[in-house]
Amino acid sequence: MKLASLFSGGKDSTYALYLAKKFSHEIACIITMDSQNKDSYMFHTPVDNVGYLAARMQLPLIKFSTQGKKEKELVDLKKAIKLAIKKYEIEGVVTGAVASTYQASRMQKICNELDIYCFNPLWQKNQIALLNELIKNNFKFKIVKVAADGLNNSWINKILDKKSIIELIKLSQRYKFSVTGEGGEIETEIIDCPLFKKDKPVERTLFRDTTSTESSAILKYFL
Amino acid sequence: MMLVINLNKYKLHDLEFIKPITDLLTRFRVVHYKNLKQSDLDSAEKIIVAGTSLKDDEYLRDIKSFSWIKSYKKPILGICSGMQILALANGAKLKKTKEIGQIQIKILKEDHLINNVEKVYSLHQFSTTLPKGFDLLAKSSKSIQAIRKGNHYGLMFHPEVFNKEVIMDFAKDI
């Protein structure tokens, strides 16, 4: 089935995309919501590097700007998915939702209204198992934002490996935050993974995105 | 051994609708309903018929595959689409009723399996009428949420999200 990946550049959405491909689905495009609201419940911020990451995967990107106002941002998300249906004839989306029923139920409603499938392959997955599975499957990722008691700025830009994951788990248990950071406690960015094409090196600086305030949709093709 | 019957049309959905259930079980076997054999039913101690995605209703076209349910003697727990199958196999009808996300249910008849349940996660666009001979255990503002006849239970909500203890309670002794 042709799917769009709802992609933030973080570990969860990238791993969900990876699983969709592993289960023989075609990823026709990536959709990224570029929210002006840093505290959005719905979307990961920042998404400055998604252009570069899309290029590494050689996938077309629909980057859709939204002010990130509660519920209005869902109208923007629906518009972005409609664009993917029209442009790439997708029949479903794949998301990295793990435990947030706020995000998952809103995605389900939008997909239901658009009569497309909604896949959430990480749904209810044990958070520690998820982190270990990412490492086992050669996903390299770093923390780009922290917002939880117990996590100071020394975590920013830290690449998560077996050792730092153990440290993060201990802190999450002590300070009671989600170790996968789905509630925004941590935001991650993929550095390397099996989805990245090795044969076509991409200059990161060429794809540093700019924020659009005027246009509602920015279509970029990197193929 | 718990037999988990899979209704998913797409395997990718197994990670979303089967894995969260089997993560709570110790001894289990997952069989897709299209591959179900009499020997699977005979060797199971209990059965969970798991739910599937909102858009996936292929199982409704294959409802005859579930004619064994009504006379099955061992415990069955039907979750969401699984409850729809249990109800249809017992003569109930489906109604278009959409509930997506967190909702509240009201317990109408005490039962150890759901006595402590209030907040549930719902993901369905059909509900069922009450099948003949079943007790109505719980309702939401829009639909029947829990039914029981003997050791056969149907839950319209997804206990694997907010109410994992329901599945663990059903699976105890296995």
Question: Which of chain B's residues have a Cβ under 8 Å away from the Cβ of A120?
Answer: 16
Nearest by CB: B100 against A19, A109, A115: A109
ipTM: 0.95
H-helix or E-strand spanning residue B29: strand B28-32
Return the pLDDT at A201.
54
- Half-sphere exposure of residue B119: CA atoms within 13 angstroms, side-chain side: 5
* Mean pLDDT, chain B, integer: 97
Q: DSSP string of B84-112?
A: HHHHHHTT--EEEEEEEEEEE-EESS--T
CA gyration radius for chain A? Answer: 16
Q: What is the pLDDT of residues A97-135, one digit of tens each?
A: 999 999 999 999 999 999 999 999 999 999 889 999 999
Query: How confident is the model at residue A27, as a pLDDT?
Result: 97
| Nearest by CB: B53 against A118, A122, A126 | A118
User: Which residue from A19, A106, A112 is facing B54, i.e. has the nearest CB?
Assistant: A112
pLDDT at A36: 84
Question: Which one is predicted more confidently, A204 or A151?
Answer: A151
Contact at CB, A101 and B98, closer than 8 angstroms:
no
**A18-77, pLDDT tens digit by residue?**
999 999 999 999 999 988 887 777 787 778 888 889 989 999 999 888 888 887 889 999
Whole-number Å distance between alpha carbons of A121 and B168: 22
Instruction: Point out the least confidently predicted range of A11-20, A39-48, A163-172, B38-47.
Output: A39-48
Q: Are the C-beta atoms of B124 and B80 separated by less than 8 Å?
A: yes
Predicted local confidence at residue A212, as pLDDT:
41
The CATH number covering residue B78 comes to: 3.40.50.880
Mark which residues 30-69 of B lie under 8 Å from A by CB.
Answer: 53-56
A219 confidence band (pLDDT: 50, 70, 90): very low
By annotation, the residues of B acting in catalysis are 80, 158, 160
Q: Do B11 and A23 touch (CB under 8 A)?
A: yes
Instruction: Looking at the complex, report in whole angstroms how far the Cα of residue B16 sits from the nearest Cα belonging to chain A.
Output: 5
* pLDDT at A12 (0 to 100): 94
Domains delineated in chain A: 2-124+203-220 (3.40.50.620), 127-188 (3.90.1490.10)
Chain B residue numbers with beta carbons less than 8 Å from the beta carbon of A109 are: 100-101
**What's the pLDDT at A202?**
55
The number of domains in chain B is: 1
Q: What percent of chain A has pLDDT over 90?
A: 60
**pLDDT exceeds 60 at position A88:** yes
A113 to chain B, any CB pair closer than 8 A? The answer is no
Query: What is the per-residue pLDDT for A40?
Result: 74
For residue B15, pLDDT over 90 is answered with yes
Q: Does B95 touch chain A (CB under 8 A)?
A: no
Q: How confident is the model at residue A200 (pLDDT cuts 50, 70, 90)?
A: low
Helix A101-114 × helix A72-88 angle, to 10°? 50
CB–CB contact B20 A122 (8 Å): no
Range of the domain at B75: 2-170
Residue A216 has pLDDT above 80, yes or no: no
* Tens-place pLDDT, residues B77-124: 999 999 999 999 999 999 999 999 999 999 999 999 999 899 999 999
* Closest CB from B100, B125, B160 relative to A124: B160
Q: Which residues of B82-99 are buried (b: 16+ CB within 10 A; e: fewer)?
A: bbbbbbbbbebebeebeb
Cα–Cα dist A87/A83, whole Å: 6
What mean pLDDT do residues A184-196 have?
Answer: 90
pTM assigned to the model:
0.92
pLDDT greater than 80 at residue A160: yes
Residues of A in contact with B121 (CB under 8 A): 101, 105
Percent of chain B exceeding pLDDT 70 equals 100
User: What is the C-alpha to C-alpha distance for residues A32 and A216, in angstroms, rounded to an integer?
Assistant: 12
Contact call for A109 and B23, based on CB within 8 A: no
pLDDT over threshold 60, residue A214: no
